[in-house]
Structure 1
């Protein structure tokens, strides 16, 4: 089992709003890994599989988020989740 951390810049003009938060949370929940997301590197993260927890971060355009993925295939899961967060609208 591995632990992987990734950071990414949020470029969506409205940040992580309902639709991307929902897609991200569903992807995190179905990954089979424990995934947390935080708004600031080094700060405790919230459960990424919970849309309410993800939206509670209040991530806006220009914010950097940090993902931590624990589990089998953590590298692959982290890459897929970053792609969900950064895909073009």
Structure 2
């Protein structure tokens, strides 16, 4: 089982708020992999939980780290990174 990480800088002026966080969590749950997310230097949380993701209070300019474990982890990590980089408020 593969394990990969990706770092992402959040560019959206309002950060990772409810709608894009919901889309992100939906993609995580569809991926059938284990995914955690954390702010740089922080403790990771389960990325399949909307409340956990929102509790991070991710703002514009924050660097977050995605950690993905499972089959197809590399592709899932790339897809999730792209989603976070290209979210629209």
2:79 counterpart residue number: 80
Q: Any unmatched runs of 5+ in structure 2?
A: none
Q: Which runs of 5+ in 1 are unaligned?
A: none
Normalising by structure 1, we get a TM-score of 0.94
Q: Which moved more, 1:64-73 or 1:78-87?
A: 78-87
Point out 4+ residue stretches in structure 1 off by more than 3 angstroms: none
Answer yes or no: is the 8 Å Cα contact 2:20–2:87 preserved in 1.
Answer: no
- Give the RMSD, CA atoms, in angstroms: 1.0
Question: Which residue of structure 2 lines up, in the alignment, with residue 18 of structure 1?
Answer: 18
For normalisation by structure 2, the TM-score amounts to 0.94
Find the aligned partners of 1:40 and 1:6 in 2 and give their Cα distance. 11
